[in-house]
Amino acid sequence: MGIVDFSLDGKVALVTGGSRGIGRVIALAFAEAGADVAVSSRKLPDLEAVAEEIRATGRKGLAVSSHIAKPEESKNLVETVQKEFGRIDILVNNAGTNPYLGPLIDAEEWVWDVTMNVNLKGPFILGQMAARVMRDQGGGNIINIVSTAGINPSMLHIYSVTKAALIMLTRVMAMEWGKHNIRANAIAPGMIKTRFSEALWKGTPAEDKLAMPEDIAGAALYLASDASRYVNGETVVISGAGG
């Protein structure tokens, strides 16, 4: 170990939305740093491919299909990771959605429900389940992926509201769970080149200059490791001064 400890040796991490984009790269960065990593999302074949990439780093990789807005599936996810890996040290609540791109004034009730359930209720329920495991094992670490759209109002309106609430949920988790040796922090990316944001950048002049998922993974490793042991309840903005 050097002066600063970025190692995740012996740790077990769970990354939701780990099948592609930001979640996949965070999962691989954690494995490179020494963690065994479980990835979850809805589609198992995509996850199996990432689990294979994790194993190629020499660490254990596990793929578990789980819809973040379905609490019974989150329960199964936590139980499966515990059964396979014995503990959960790091949870990255990364899965997120934005099912509607029209104006707020025309948004239907289902848009509110789906966006809230996936982006806010899901991370809360899974965070609570993981925190109980972390409390009982003596500590842990939660990272919630939010957005600059949760700091300033954006054209993604309801999505912005869910991410603003997730920033506050992160602070509340940190405040209450610090006594259990659990830290909770958030990362707020600006626009990153992934499938999620494709409708916003494809064919625009910005397409070739966008930030990549790799630009988020370093902050995730910092927050997951002991290098950030005194950082709790914070939101790290990564937007190239654009957010």
Ligand X SMILES: NC(=O)c1ccc[n+]([C@@H]2O[C@H](COP(=O)([O-])OP(=O)(O)OC[C@H]3O[C@@H](n4cnc5c(N)ncnc54)[C@H](OP(=O)(O)O)[C@@H]3O)[C@@H](O)[C@H]2O)c1
Q: Alpha-carbon distance 62 to 149, whole Å?
A: 31
Of the pair 121, 180, the CB lying nearest ligand X is at 121
**Among 52-60, 81-89, 95-103, 225-233, which window interacts with ligand X (CB under 6 A)?**
95-103
State the nearest-atom distance from the C-beta of 201 to ligand X, in Å.
8
Helix axes 44-56, 21-32, angle to 10 degrees: 30
Task: List residues bridging with 39 in a β-sheet.
Answer: 15, 63
One character per residue 187-226, x = contact with ligand X (rule: CB under 6 A): --x-xx-xxxx-----------------------------
Give the Cα-Cα-Cα angle 152, 153, 155 (nearest 5 degrees).
130
* Residue 40 CB coordination number (10 Å): 30
Q: Which of 12, 95, 184, 186 binds ligand X (CB under 6 A)?
A: 95
Which residue is it, tokens 């990364």? 94
Active site annotation includes 159:
yes
Q: Which of 13, 22, 51, 78 binds ligand X (CB under 6 A)?
A: 22
* Residue 200 CB coordination number (10 Å): 14
Q: Which of 4, 43, 176, 214 binds ligand X (CB under 6 A)?
A: 43
Which residue is it, tokens 């789906």? 114
Residue 20 makes contact with ligand X by CB under 6 A:
yes
> Structure tokens of 128?
């609570």
Q: Which residues are catalytic?
A: 159
Residues that bind ligand X (CB under 6 A): 16-23, 41-43, 46, 67-69, 94-97, 118, 145, 147, 189, 191-192, 194-197
